[in-house]
Amino acid sequence: LHHMHEEQPVPIALYNRAGWCKDFAIKSLEQRDLAYRVAYTSDTTGGLKLAVTSGLAIAPISRSNIPDGCRELTTADGFGAIDSSNVVMHRNPNASGEAIDGMQDAIREAFVNRL
């Protein structure tokens, strides 16, 4: 098990592009006066997971994406609570059929099992 969260400055892995996840992670570290350095960037969650599992950095990823052998950092580790997010599914009211209904049900079921 890696202990990257104990290093100073904390090495972090972030998405390349600006967005709420990247902004939230940086803001959270700065609010806690935690020194950090960007050790790795990626366009994908898979890339961030690789950085975490290889011991390069910690990363702001969803609980459902925490790799095997890794764990969520908590307030006991000096990190804040993770914000939650809402997923919304919009369906075209003018489209119908078994395939569309099936896809809607499959997507809904996939997210229900992640809660």
pTM over 0.85: no
Q: Where are the domains of the chain?
A: 4-77
When pLDDT is cut at 50, 70 and 90, the band that residue 52 belongs to is very high
**Residue whose C-alpha is closest to residue 60's, from 29, 86, 91:** 29
pLDDT at 6 over 90: no
Q: Would you give the DSSP letter of residue 43?
A: S
**Model pLDDT, residue 11:** 95
Q: Confirm if 12 and 36 have CB atoms less than 8 A apart.
A: yes
* Residues 61, 63, 68: CA angle, nearest 5 degrees: 90
pLDDT at 114 over 60: no
CATH code for residues 4-77: 3.40.190.10
- List CB contacts of 99: < 8 A, sequence separation 6 or more: none
Rg (CA), the chain: 17
